[in-house]
Amino acid sequence: MAEAAVSNGGMTRREFLYYIWGASMALFTAEITGLIIWFALPRFQEGEFGGTFTVPADQVPEKNAAPRDFPDGRFWLVNLDTTTDQGQERMYLVNDEAEPIVGVAAIYKVCTHLGCIYSWIPANDRFECPCHGSKYRLDGRRIEDPAPRSLDRFLIAALDANNEVLAVAEPDSNGVFKPLPLPEGTVSIRVDTGSRVDGASQPLICELRDSCP
Amino acid sequence: MATFVDQVREMGLKQATIAKVDEAVERFTSGLNVNDVRGMLRGDEPRRPNPRLRPHADGFWLHIRPSFYHTEVTHIYPTFRLGWLSTFMFVWETITGIFLMVFYTPSPDAAYSDIWNILGNVPLGQLMRNLHRFGAEVMVVVVALHMLRTFITGSYKHPRQFTWFTGMILLVLTLVLSFSGYLLPWDQLAYWAVTVAVSAAEATPGPEVIGTNINLLLRGAPVIGAGGLLRFYLLHVLLLPLLLAIFFFVHYYKVVIHGHSLPPGREAIGEDTGKRVPRDERTYFLPDIATSELMWTALTTLFLVAGAIWFYNAPLERQANPLVTPLHVVAPWYLAWSQGRLKLADKVFIAFIFIPGLATAFFVMPYFEVGKSRRYAHRRVGLTVAMLFIAFMWVSNWMGSPEYLVQSSPEQEVSQELLPQEGHSVLKGVPYEALEPGTYQPGQVIEGNPHLTKALQEFQAAMRRRSCALPGTDSPYETCRIQERGGQTTYANSFTNSAMPNPEAVLTIDDYQHNMRRLVLSFEVPNPEDSGTMLYDFERTAYRHELSNYEED
């Protein structure tokens, strides 16, 4: 019979102590690695670049008009209404949407795919991302891939002349803020960019309309 | 031992000095005296025992170099000098990089203006930047070709599997090194390329906290800023070169230990004779290989300097703006395949299954592909797979270009071709004097103004690709194919499904201010289905100062 490749003689005390020592050094290295990662993590305040923005009501776009850009807060304000015929070109319902979409929403300017800043292309009536070609409807819902979800939204509230809150956007079943129909007497809108909620992963609109490239 | 004074007494001053110089040369070269050195330069046979082997045994610089090569591997085939060239490029990048570091501060406030200072103010600064950037691209090419050559000649096979493995580490480090340098100029190109790459980390499978924290570690903050720039700078100038140097030595040690593999046809199947070199087939490092390497150093330097002076200009776009992603932002060409693949599929799949899977397959390939023969005729499947893989990468690279899936609306695309937000175009390159005020049609010929005429020809070509003529009209474009898709009418030509029907487009140039002209591209396309409304109505404006050789916004 061939000799075993590894001798299976009993462990000596010296060998055992080497293993214990080695294991403790491995543990120590793992601890140091953890400490290095902890050390290298940046220090910042949550929502540092955001904060709360107050927008006068006259800066809110017209119903179904092109969105308005707020670069400081990194959001677009959109005013949606699928109930009128006049707005069908920009805001339309697709098969899986039963309720009309009405109200104002604040949409985060960053593409949900890999963080590029998409822009509004008026001729195509949609948001388009220059990096990998994701497309979104005016309300931020995905039209085309590769975005993994619809655009993220911020919490908005409608304020009256005394800065009293008249209404606050409600979350829908996915936790995403629904558009907020502005009540009578709204003078300004408060956008809280510290409260971003990820968009939902609904089916692509282009699949529902059979217009995918 | 006799002192110098004793020697002078004994031999006279001249002879004693010569003896001293001889001794110094022998010490400096670790074993070659003046006559040995001159013998090498004259092409004499070495004396016995061969003193030209002593620098390999006793000296530091040559101790890692083999003292002789198999003559078969000293020809251009089979190595094409690609491994040596990769090493040369690394040294080249280190030297030119140190020059650039002298004038560079890794801070968003300073980095961009530092690059302009290097370009416009530092003597030879532009040359140095071009040499560094051109060198980086050449290095990527050389390293990739080195791998391809190793695959084609089957040199990764037993006993050189681990050499291939370390070579893969060096390939990955080369790509990451090249990419990490991308951010440092802090221009738009840099900022968005890195933002996309780093965001892919967010898609890490598993608990969300992992992806978020990897992202934070790389970005240095929730968005790339001062912290991120400093991190990428340190990676680029410190950590990655250090790792690359370490693995270079592991790699090269394995190369020396196993000897260069001979051309596949030169040895019996399943044998490796790279290390058993018959005496009459040896080419000694001193002087022949050393001379050849000096020549390659000279030729490569010539190539790089000539390239950086006459043929290559390192791009610099506008300063990084975290609020605007320019249209048609593209990854560096050697990563365009990943941008192409990211357009198609789920990013988790691409970034954590496809790309790592591809890399792993490459790493472990020599341990699984264990066919004994290195001969081309016996490796038809392997070589075919390699060619298919190259074709696949070629197509993926094309998919990374703006042509694929990120086409915007036609008037934006034409504007982008003529007056791009970033980068160069024919119209941007027209000299200021040639920008005569006026209104111009696409394809118009301006007598005595070849520059503007050429730009207008480009305008016409761009319009042709994105326009069509409605049936029954006399528009100069190809007839529209009118389609109903998803409740919308689209107008297609043979290039695109989104063409402008019967467009009116003009370029207007006027004097905007003293020394400054304004270029306006305007597009008017009436809606054929609803007269009185516009399908496309768009203007793009750009300004051009007399003293600038670049476009100002």
Question: At how many degrees (to 10) do helices B355-368 and B161-182 cross?
Answer: 160
Site from B189, B194, B196 to mutate, A interface, most A CB atoms within 10 angstroms:
B196
Confidence of residue A105 (pLDDT cuts 50, 70, 90): very high
Q: What are the tokens at A117?
A: 């800043």
Q: Does residue B360 lie within any of the structural domains?
A: yes
Same domain, B290 and B370: yes
CB B397 within 8 A of CB B337: yes
Enumerate the residues of chain A whose CB falls inside 8 A of the CB of residue B344: 145-146
Enumerate the residues of chain A whose CB falls inside 8 A of the CB of residue B227: 42
User: Does the beta carbon of A122 lie under 8 angstroms from any beta carbon of chain B?
Assistant: yes
B492: domain range?
410-545
Q: How many residues does chain A have?
A: 213
Helix ranges, B369-489 (H): 380-399, 410-418, 450-465
Same domain, B16 and B96: no
Q: What is the CATH number of the domain that holds B231?
A: 1.20.810.10
Same domain, B425 and B354: no
User: Does the beta carbon of A40 lie under 8 angstroms from any beta carbon of chain B?
Assistant: yes
Strands (E) in B1-110, as ranges, are 68-70
- Per the listing, tokens 């599997």 go with B161
Share of chain A above pLDDT 90, in %: 45
User: Å from A124 to nearest chain B CA?
Assistant: 6
Residue type, position B146, single letter = H
Q: Note the pLDDT of residue A4.
A: 62
Residue of B169, B138, B140, B147 lying closest to B389 (CA atoms): B147
Task: Give the CA angle between residues B195, B198, B204 to the nearest 5°.
Answer: 140
Q: Note the pLDDT of residue B544.
A: 85
CB B56 within 8 A of CB B65: yes
Same domain, B212 and B86: yes
Look at residue A44 and tell me whether its pLDDT is greater than 80.
no
Q: Note the pLDDT of residue A87.
A: 64
CB B344 within 8 A of CB B149: no
Same domain, B31 and B94: no
| Residue B222: closest C-alpha in chain A | A44
User: Å from A12 to nearest chain B CA?
Assistant: 34
Element (H, E) at A112: none
Query: Which residue in B192, B227, B486 is closest to A211 by CB distance?
Result: B486
Whole-number Å distance between alpha carbons of B358 and B149: 19
Same domain, B374 and B517: no
Same domain, B463 and B337: no
CB B58 within 8 A of CB B31: yes
A/B interface, count of CB pairs below 8 Å = 110
Look at residue A45 and tell me whether its pLDDT is greater than 60.
yes
Q: Does residue B449 lie within any of the structural domains?
A: yes
User: Does the beta carbon of A2 lie under 8 angstroms from any beta carbon of chain B?
Assistant: no
Whole-number Å distance between alpha carbons of B168 and B174: 10
Residue of B62, B82, B61 lying closest to B73 (CA atoms): B82
pTM, 2 dp:
0.88
Question: At how many degrees (to 10) do helices A13-40 and B208-219 cross?
Answer: 70
CA atoms within 13 Å, Cβ hemisphere of A17: 3
Same domain, B118 and B144: yes
CB atoms A37 and B223 under 8 Å: no
Q: Does residue B56 lie within any of the structural domains?
A: no
Same domain, B290 and B364: yes
Q: Note the pLDDT of residue B278.
A: 92
Query: Which residue in B196, B323, B343 is closest to A115 by CB distance?
Result: B196
CB atoms B323 and A109 under 8 Å: yes
Residues 6+ apart with CB under 8 A from B451: B429, B430, B431, B434
pLDDT in tens, B224-263: 889 999 999 999 999 999 999 999 999 999 999 999 999 9
The superfamily CATH assigns to domain A52-208 is Rieske [2Fe-2S] iron-sulphur domain (2.102.10.10)
Q: Does residue B48 lie within any of the structural domains?
A: no
Whole-number Å distance between alpha carbons of B376 and B373: 8
Q: Note the pLDDT of residue B97.
A: 97
Enumerate the residues of chain A whose CB falls inside 8 A of the CB of residue B322: 117
Same domain, B89 and B207: yes
Positions in chain B whose pLDDT score sits under 70: 1, 345, 485-487, 548-553
Element (H, E) at A124: none
Query: Which residue in B192, B221, B412 is closest to A121 by CB distance?
Result: B412
User: Å from B1 to nearest chain A CA?
Assistant: 51
CB-based burial label for B349 (10 Å; 0-12, 13-18, 19+): middle
Q: Is the peptide bond before B55 cis (omega within 30 degrees of 0)?
A: no
Same domain, B417 and B377: no
Q: What are the tokens at B2?
A: 């006799």
Q: Does residue B494 lie within any of the structural domains?
A: yes
List the domain boundaries for chain A. 13-43, 52-208
| Residue B343: closest C-alpha in chain A | A132
Alpha-carbon dihedral angle through residues B344, B347, B350, B356, given to the nearest 10 degrees: 170
Same domain, B208 and B240: yes
Enumerate the residues of chain A whose CB falls inside 8 A of the CB of residue B408: 121, 124, 128, 130
Q: Note the pLDDT of residue B487.
A: 66
| Signed CA dihedral, B301, B303, B306, B308: sign only | negative
Q: Note the pLDDT of residue B551.
A: 42
Site from A37, A43, A112, A114 to mutate, B interface, most B CB atoms within 10 angstroms:
A114
Q: What are the tokens at A72?
A: 């400081």
Residue type, position B130, single letter = N
CB B321 within 8 A of CB B188: yes
Please tell me whether residue B542 adopts helix, strand or coil conformation.
strand
Enumerate the residues of chain B whose CB falls inside 8 A of the CB of residue A71: 323
Whole-number Å distance between alpha carbons of B88 and B303: 13
Enumerate the residues of chain A whose CB falls inside 8 A of the CB of residue B403: none
Q: Note the pLDDT of residue B552.
A: 38
- For chain B, the domain total comes to 3
